[in-house]
Amino acid sequence: MDSYETGRFSQEKMIARLSQWLYTAAICLMLPFGLFLLLRKRANKPHVGSRWKEYLGYSEAKPDWHNTIWVHAVSVGEVIAAKPLIIELQRKYPLSTILVTTTTTTGAEQVNKIASNIEHRYMPLDIPCFVKRFLNTIKPQKLIIMETELWPNTLSLVDKANIPIYVVNARLSEKSKNNYQRFGALFRSMIPHVTKILCQFPSDLERFKQLGVEQHKLYVTGSIKYDITIEDDILQLAQETRTNLGTERPVWIAASTHQGEEQVIINAHKLILKHFPNALLIIVPRHPERFDRVHQLLLESGMTTVRRTSSEIVTSNTQVYLSDTMGELLTLIGASDICFMGGSLLGDKVGGHNFIEPAALQKPIVSGPSYYNFYDIAESLLKNEAVYIEDSSKNIAQRIFNLIEDADKRHQVALNAYGVFKQSSGSLSKTLELL
């Protein structure tokens, strides 16, 4: 390395350190607000309670913990995606403790549903003293991060403790890549600490390379979300739910909807009801704190609505079934004829949600035009005529109407979706091999 390169390397290192210092200062300044958001009570959402100190790194380790494998999954979606990996890690390493951290309480609730012997703690906030406190207590043997939840101080301190770091099921949209590029020095400071990044698709790998990640750290394993197993009890619950909702009526679901999407879906359903007066819409808001607001919106729209948690019985006159529970999405998709996937009607705000669940359950899929978070999956489904992209109430209603009316077409599209799901499995075994 000549003197010019040595000087440039030293300059980049100094900029990276300065960026991380400024980042840490900003995080410390925002700490009161961040804690307020994490600790405040919200309707229909579990509260952290007395465990709030875990966000400050005060996490208890049990005496019988051994060779702890630490899996971080920020919230509900990541925990659900990590479930097959967690179960397989537990099977493969029966003497190790599997610890899962989440940031959200809803994520914690999902961890507790995986197995009774999976440990859970809340992720310490990315401030050095908090992370050090957590590491000194937990003493993990390796860290597995689901998707792309990268925190500079955590990565630096975990690496300094000689703990290998794996980013699993990693995805990086064009939008996320551009956001990381805006803070290039900070992102580059994180790269040396990561052992391997296991990407979902070649396009994700290319974007990580464009951000400066070395080729030898990058692998393509596919998406673990393709490797979901639809258990028999889910199928049985889906069948029972459909029986309760009505087997002689068309049922469609709007899954994981966000604020601003429900009104579009309601308007679409009103158009569908003109052709199929007994049609039922199942609507599943993405965030539990919005259950009451969505219920109010449905009542204001004049729709006859039953909440899943209520004691009311769904009758032939019920027009909307509001799911105000967590962790039942697979059951409700299984009870439906057609699935609209939310988070896709809001421009660049969300970028869609995972299409794999309805594909695995052999359901035709409809989506809005914004699905950049699942671009590769969506493109595979589009090529195989397994998903329809619609951008308005009128177009969504027309598509749902056509699929309801044409049973043969609906069946074929469902088979196409399932075919994509089956062809894309195998990620879990590749991931475990690289871990």
- Alpha carbon separation from 346 to 261, 297, 369, 370, 376 (Å, rounded): 7, 18, 9, 7, 19
Cα separation, 179 vs 321, in Å, equals 38
Cα separation, 386 vs 410, in Å, equals 10
Q: Evaluate the CA torsion angle 146, 150, 153, 155 in order and state its sign.
A: positive
Question: Could you tell me which residues come within 8 angstroms of residue 145 by beta carbon, excluding any fewer than 6 positions away?
Answer: 72, 165, 166, 167, 168
Alpha carbon 398 to its chain's center: 29
- Alpha carbon separation from 305 to 85, 244, 259, 317 (Å, rounded): 38, 15, 18, 9
Cα separation, 199 vs 94, in Å, equals 27
Q: Evaluate the CA torsion angle 278, 326, 125, 218 in order and state its sign.
A: negative
147 touches 79 (CB < 8 A): no
Cα separation, 328 vs 8, in Å, equals 54
193 touches 214 (CB < 8 A): no
Cα separation, 141 vs 158, in Å, equals 10
Q: Evaluate the CA torsion angle 369, 372, 377, 382 in order and state its sign.
A: positive
Q: Which of 143, 120, 140, 123 is nearest to 131 (CA)?
A: 123
Q: Where are the alpha helices (DSSP H) in 195-350?
A: 202-210, 232-245, 262-275, 291-300, 329-334
Active site residues: 78
Cα separation, 309 vs 295, in Å, equals 12
Tokens 């959200």 -> residue: 104
